[in-house]
Structure 1
Amino acid sequence: MKPIESRDSGHQGETNKPLLFAIAGLLAGSSVTGILVTNVVQAQQVHRGLPYSVSQVMPHRRGMMMGQQADRHFITMMIPHHEGAVKMADLALKLSKRPEIRKLAESIKRDQTREIDQMRAWYKQWYGTNVPPLSCDRRYGNDRGN
């Protein structure tokens, strides 16, 4: 019995590329979400293990320190996430024939680019420096500083 072949078997890999890129993008987004959740859980565990609460030692600084670190981390992690969405939108604009997908991709590209610019401006204003590049260690939740 002869195996079933597609009509255009020579281009099968090409037609699967958008699907592969989309899956890779979803996995990357899921990884970022997993890292953020893991870091929050780890931070809660560290504070539970202390013999005293941070608010007892520095009641006026607890919210500021936790908030600033969370804000920095959020911006540092969200920018690459948004950049990935913009790249996926570019791919959809290049390959999609459906007007609904093209309209959504244009909206995503416009909005996410604006949000990236806004986050970079906030970071510069609040911390006096540009958003640091995301190193491999930071990407996987191993940033123990900042």
Structure 2
Amino acid sequence: MNNKIVFGIGGIIIGLVIAIFFTTTISPYSNAGFGMMGWRSNSGSNQGLTGNTQVANNIDRHFIEQMIPHHDGAVAMAKLALEKSKRTEIKTLATAIIEGQTKEIQDMEVWYKDWFGKDVPQVSTGMMGGGMMSSSGMHMGGQEDMTVLENAKDFDKAFLEAMIPHHQLALMMVRMLEAGSNRPEMLQLAKNITNSQSKEIQQMQAWYVQWYK
């Protein structure tokens, strides 16, 4: 598939997910006088402060519930890359993804328990996690995705076509977190994800052009 088409379709999908994230995250407070990121409308100042806190708390909760399965999908694909890839560059990237995102998963699980008093619920296959469709028609990180990757004629090409939009989606989720969270831990996590995955996207795009243009 032409690399412009690959990245273009990924962008369209990511745009659709943004709307879903905002709807599921903000809508519980839409009738309390708050706008998109919890900004107060014409309600009283005390209500606005409470509402902003509630919205920020809800954003943190929802982000963790969705980012953990999203990270799980990336880790699963990266582990497969260690087995199937023929390129040292891909294997080095896969190792970095496994180490970095596994640590982030562990951190988010601890925070969720501390802040919300329970373990992170298991999220069924859905738009923000394993069920997100990639530009190559696969569920990124889901069982179908793993099967397609495992049987791909050119594994490295299929891996890049799945992982690039997967990372792009993570960055969009992070931008929404930065706009709504007030917890230092979450804002630092957002910064870490942005730094690491932006660099990985650039590297993967460069490889794709170099190897498959």
The TM-score bracket by the shorter chain reads: 0.5 to 0.7
CA shift at 1:61, angstroms? 0.6
Answer yes or no: is the 8 Å Cα contact 1:32–1:81 preserved in 2. no
* Mean CA deviation greater in 57-66 or 108-117: 57-66
Give the secondary structure class of the aligned counterpart of 2:83: helix
Q: Letter of the aligned partner of 1:66 in structure 2?
A: V
In structure 2, relative to structure 1, the CA distance for the partners of 1:132 and 1:110 (3 Å cut) is same
Q: Which has the larger radius of gyration?
A: 1
- What are the ranges of 5 or more consecutive residues in structure 2 without an aligned counterpart? 1-5, 35-39, 129-213
- Deviation at residue 84 of structure 1 after TM alignment: 0.3
Work out the percentage of aligned pairs sharing the same amino acid: 36
* TM-aligned CA distance change 1:68 to 1:115, over 3 Å: same
| Residues 32, 77 of structure 1: 8 Å contact kept | no
Quote the Cα distance in structure 2 between the aligned partners of 1:82 and 1:33: 19
Change (3 A) 1:31 1:91: farther
8 Å CA contact retained: 1:85, 1:108: yes
- Tell me the CA shift for residue 31 of structure 1: 6.5
Q: TM-score, length-normalised on structure 1?
A: 0.62
Q: How does 1:1-146 map to 2 (within 5 A)?
A: 34-41=16-23, 43=26, 47=30, 50=31, 53-54=33-34, 55=40, 56=43, 58-135=47-124, 139-140=126-127
User: Alpha carbons of 1:140 and 1:95: their partners in 2 closer, same or farther (altered >3 Å)?
Assistant: closer
CA RMSD between the two structures:
2.9
Matched AA of 1:53: G
Structure 1 alignment gaps of length 5 or more: 1-22, 142-146
**TM-score normalised by length of structure 2:** 0.44
Shift of 1:63: 1.2
User: What is the number of equivalent residue pairs in this alignment?
Assistant: 108
**1:140–1:97 CA distance, 2 compared to 1 (3 A):** closer
Summarize the Cα distance change of 1:95–1:135 in structure 2 as closer, same or farther, 3 Å threshold.
closer
Describe the SS at the equivalent of 1:64: helix
CA distance in 1, matches of 2:104, 2:111: 10
Which secondary structure does the structure 2 equivalent of 1:132 belong to?
coil
SS at the partner of 1:97?
coil
Could you list the per-position Cα deviations for residues 31-76 of structure 1 after superposition, in whole angstroms to 9, with x for gaps in the alignment? 78744432315747x83xx5x7244151221111101111111000
